[in-house]
């Protein structure tokens, strides 16, 4: 007391006068950020599966997306993904929830914008992704065709080997089956045709099979007649 405290205080400030300054020289020297630092939320469109977990886990309705049912598969197609950043409170819940790791925070903390509209970020579906998808579907069709071809071939072989069993699917009378079986075994062309139809369309196969049979019956009748003559 009696001034000693004052003098001690003066001593402390004097000591700091000669110490190194601690001011951060931002923006001349960017601060060193910890690896976990959460700056700006980034979204990777390609990885997202539009599952909606992020939207549901966000407390502040920052995130939203639009989807479209794609024609040739049950998968939802992501059209756009919106981050309305002005409401984000950097809580990391969305990032932790995402099963595909498509959300992450980068270290960019300079988020000020001149207008409110600039804060909102909309990710549109990149054009490359649509092209990729077309190629994908095309190749898928090819693949399917290949598969069918293989099936047909297998079927025709099976027909030639054991026709009765297979043809029972399309014909009812045993006589007819026997006739067609003979036919199939004789000509590969018929076998292939039958096989294709069997794979693709059973009803049509039945009709065509019946047609084959009647035709053959007629042929045979005429042959018998001719023989008699």
Partner 1 sequence: MEHLFTNLAAAFTGWMITLGLSPVWADIILLLVKWIIIITIITLNIIVLIWLERKVSAFFQERLGPNRLGPFGIFQTIADAIKLLTKEDIVPSAADKLIFKTAPMFFIVVAVMLYTVIPLGQGMEVINLNIGLLFFISIGSLSTIALLMAGWGSDNKWSLMGAVRSVAQMISYEIPLAFSLLGVVMISGSLNLQDIVAAQDNLWFIILQPIAFITYFIAATAELNRGPFDMPEAEQELTGGAYTEYTGMRWALFFLAEYTNLVAVSALMATVFLGGWQGPWLPSWLWIIIKTYGVILVFFWVKWTFPRIRMDQLMSFSWKVLVPVSLGNILLTGAGIYFCKWMGWC
Partner 2 sequence: MMQSDIYTVNVGPIHPSTHGGLHAEAVMDGEIIQDVIVHLGYVHRSVEKIAESKTYQQFVPYTARLDYLATNLPVLGYCQTVEKLLGIQVPERAEYIRVIMAELSRIASHQIAIAATGIDLGATTGLMYGMRDRERIMNIFEMTGGQRLLSSYIRIGGVAADIPKEFIPVVRSFAHDIPLMIDEYNGLMTGNEIWAARMQGVGILSLEDAVKYGVTGPNLRASGIAYDIRKAEPYGIYDRFDFDIPVGSRGDSLDRWKVRIEELRQSGRIIEQALDNLPEGEITARVPKVLKPEPGIEVYHRIESAKGELGYYIVSDGGKKPYRLHVRAPSFINLMVLPLVCRGGVFQDIITNIATLDPILGESDR
| Residue ranges in contact with ligand SF4 by CB under 6 A | 41, 48-54, 57-60, 62-63, 88-94, 97-100, 102-103
Q: Which of 40, 55, 93, 158 binds partner 2 (CB under 8 A)?
A: 93
User: Is position 4 an interface residue for partner 1 (rule: CB under 8 A)?
Assistant: no
CB of 85 closer than 8 Å to CB of 119: yes
User: Is position 23 an interface residue for partner 1 (rule: CB under 8 A)?
Assistant: yes
| 63: helix, strand or coil | strand
Residues forming beta bridges with residue 42, ordered by sequence position? 104
User: Is position 127 an interface residue for partner 1 (rule: CB under 8 A)?
Assistant: no
User: Is position 89 an interface residue for partner 2 (rule: CB under 8 A)?
Assistant: yes
Size of the site for partner 2 (CB under 8 A): 29
Q: For partner 1, give the closer residue by CB, 26 or 114.
A: 26
Q: For ligand SF4, give the closer residue by CB, 132 or 224.
A: 132
Dihedral sign from CA coordinates of 120, 126, 130, 132: negative
Out of partner 2, partner 1, ligand SF4, none, which partner does residue 100 contact, by CB within 5 to 8 A per kind? ligand SF4
Helix axes 202-228, 174-186, angle to 10 degrees: 90
Helix axes 174-186, 127-161, angle to 10 degrees: 110
Q: Which of 68, 70, 80, 96 binds partner 2 (CB under 8 A)?
A: 96
Q: For partner 2, give the closer residue by CB, 82 or 92.
A: 92
Which of 26-64 are b and which e, b meaning 16 or more Cβ less than 10 Å from the residue's Cβ?
A: eeeeeeeeeeeebebbebeeeebebeebbbebbeeebbe
In this structure, what DSSP letter does residue 71 have?
S
Chain residues binding partner 2 by CB under 8 A are: 1-6, 8-9, 11-13, 16, 22, 33-38, 57-59, 89-93, 96, 105
């Amino acid at each position: 007391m009696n001034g000693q405290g004052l003098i001690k205080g003066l001593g402390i400030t004097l000591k700091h006068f000669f110490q190194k300054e601690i001011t951060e020289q931002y923006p001349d020297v960017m601060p060193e950020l910890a690896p976990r630092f959460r700056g700006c939320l980034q979204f990777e469109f390609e990885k997202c599966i539009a599952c909606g977990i992020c939207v549901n886990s966000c407390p502040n309705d920052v995130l939203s997306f639009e989807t479209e049912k794609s024609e040739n598969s049950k998968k939802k197609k992501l059209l756009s993904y919106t981050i309305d950043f002005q409401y984000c409170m950097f809580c990391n819940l969305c990032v932790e929830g995402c099963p595909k790791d498509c959300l992450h925070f980068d270290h960019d903390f300079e988020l000020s914008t001149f207008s409110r509209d600039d804060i909102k970020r909309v990710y549109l579906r990149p054009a490359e992704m649509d092209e990729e998808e077309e190629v994908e579907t095309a190749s898928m069709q090819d693949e399917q065709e290949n598969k069918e071809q293989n099936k047909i071939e297998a079927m025709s072989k099976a027909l030639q080997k054991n026709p009765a069993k297979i043809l029972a699917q399309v014909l009812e009378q045993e006589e007819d089956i026997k006739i067609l079986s003979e036919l199939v075994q004789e000509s590969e062309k018929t076998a292939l045709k039958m096989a294709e139809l069997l794979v693709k369309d059973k009803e049509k196969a039945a009709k065509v099979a019946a047609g084959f049979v009647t035709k053959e019956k007629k042929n045979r009748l005429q042959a018998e007649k001719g023989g008699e003559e």
